[in-house]
A and B are shown apart, each in its own frame.
Chain A
Amino acid sequence: MVTVQPRVQAPSEVAKDEIFEVRTLISHPMETGLRRDESKHVIPRHLINKFTCRYNDAVAFSVEMHESIAANPYLSFYLRATESGRLQFFWEEDGGAVYSLASSVTVRG
């Protein structure tokens, strides 16, 4: 079994009203359920089907992912710096597992 490893790159300090970039990556096969192994058996679908970013608990950005998202899903997106607080990142996997990370951001001025 491959270890699922989420990563996030987000600034720890930003200016008020600045629009900053967040980059995330999670190591995951994103198995489509359309492939077969050497003995012709269907490899079951196993996807990260949803990504969510919460900014002080409110959903700021989310993605519904389907079979055509590449393995090791990478996302770069943006947030507007309104107040200091907590960023939380969640990756939901087929079968119900959830992987998460959190970081804090300080808004100056």
Chain B
Amino acid sequence: MRIAISTIVLGRRSVLRTLWWSGMGVAGGTVAPRLSLGESVGAHEDDSELIKKLTGRTPVASPRVHLDMPPVFSNGYTVPLTLEVDSPMIQTDYVRLVHVLAPRNPITLVGSFQFTPQSGRARVSTRIRLAEPQNVLAAAEMSDGTVLMTKTWVKVDSNGCA
């Protein structure tokens, strides 16, 4: 019933988020605090703002940036991540730097990966910590100055930052 009321009052994105968190609550038994958190953080506008602060450029969502992570992972201490940016990786056109951000971790910037034409391929795999379920962001600074971004939802069951 509570969810039905929210549907009328809040926008589409908020409703989706509410549904997410209530789903989380069934598993974890923590509906109330999650809902209040969900109101202020995590919206797409905030993601862009975060990346703009970091890179100085407004990012453009792009299918050229691939961030592969498991949608559900039990252990927040070591979540596999593979990122790849489609690029010829030649002197005149390559990926300079890719930032990975986890906005709901205590420290948002996870890492910055610097590529060169010598890389041949802008692809890297590593393992990261996630404090709670969230959208992980990847922002790629290209050699022409543009910033491309993508995000991937990951649900973890244990806090990897505790």
Check A62 against B114 for contact (C-beta < 8 Å). yes
Q: Give CA–CA (A78, B95) in the complex, Å.
A: 13
Closest to A68 in B: B110
Chain A hits for B102, CB < 8 A: 68
Give Cα distance in the complex from A55 to B130, angstroms: 33
Answer whether residue A66 sits at the interface, using C-beta atoms and an 8 A cutoff. Answer: yes
Do residues B107 and A68 form an inter-chain contact, with CB atoms below 8 A? Answer: yes
Tell me which of A1-9, A69-77, A89-97, A99-107 binds B. A69-77
Q: Give 1 or 0 for each of B109-143: 1 = CB within 8 Å of chain A CB.
A: 11111111111110111111110000000000000
A80 and B120 contacting across the interface, CB-CB below 8 Å: yes
* Total count of chain A residues near the partner, CB < 8 A: 28
B106 interfacial by beta-carbon distance below 8 Å: yes
**Which B residues between 83 and 124 are near A, CB-CB below 8 angstroms?**
89, 102, 105-107, 109-121, 123-124
Distance of B76 from chain A, by nearest CB (Å): 10
How many residue-residue contacts, CB under 8 A, span A and B?
101
In the complex, chain B residues whose CB is within 8 Å of the CB of A78: 119-121, 123
A34-B106, A75-B126 known; A68+B119 contact, CB < 8 A: no
Instruction: Compute how far the CA of A32 lies from the CA of B162 in the bound complex, rounded to whole angstroms.
Output: 9
Residue A88 is within 8 A (CB to CB) of chain B in the complex: no
Q: Are B129 and A61 interface neighbours, CB within 8 A?
A: no
B130 CB contacts on chain A under 8 angstroms: 68
Cβ of A37 under 8 Å from chain B = no
- B125 touching A75 by the CB < 8 A rule? yes
In the assembled complex, the Cα of A78 lies from the Cα of B161 at a distance in Å of 29
Q: Give the complex CA separation of A58 and B119 in angstroms.
A: 12
Q: How far is the CA of A80 from the CA of B138 in the complex (A)?
A: 23
Whether a CB of chain B sits under 8 angstroms from the CB of A63 is yes
Minimum distance in angstroms from A11 CB to a CB of chain B = 13
Given contacts A32-B161, A74-B127, contact A67 B117 (CB under 8 A): no
What would 13 more interface pairs be, CB under 8 Å, given A34-B161, A70-B126?
Answer: A32-B161, A58-B118, A59-B116, A61-B114, A62-B114, A63-B114, A65-B111, A67-B106, A67-B129, A69-B128, A70-B79, A71-B77, A76-B124
Measured CB to CB, the residues of B under 8 A from A are 77-79, 89, 102, 105-107, 109-121, 123-130, 160-162
28 A-B contact pairs sorted by A residue (CB < 8 Å)? A19-B120, A32-B106, A34-B107, A55-B118, A59-B116, A60-B116, A61-B118, A63-B111, A63-B112, A64-B111, A64-B112, A66-B109, A66-B111, A67-B105, A68-B107, A68-B109, A68-B128, A68-B130, A69-B110, A69-B126, A70-B77, A71-B78, A74-B126, A74-B127, A75-B126, A77-B124, A78-B123, A80-B120
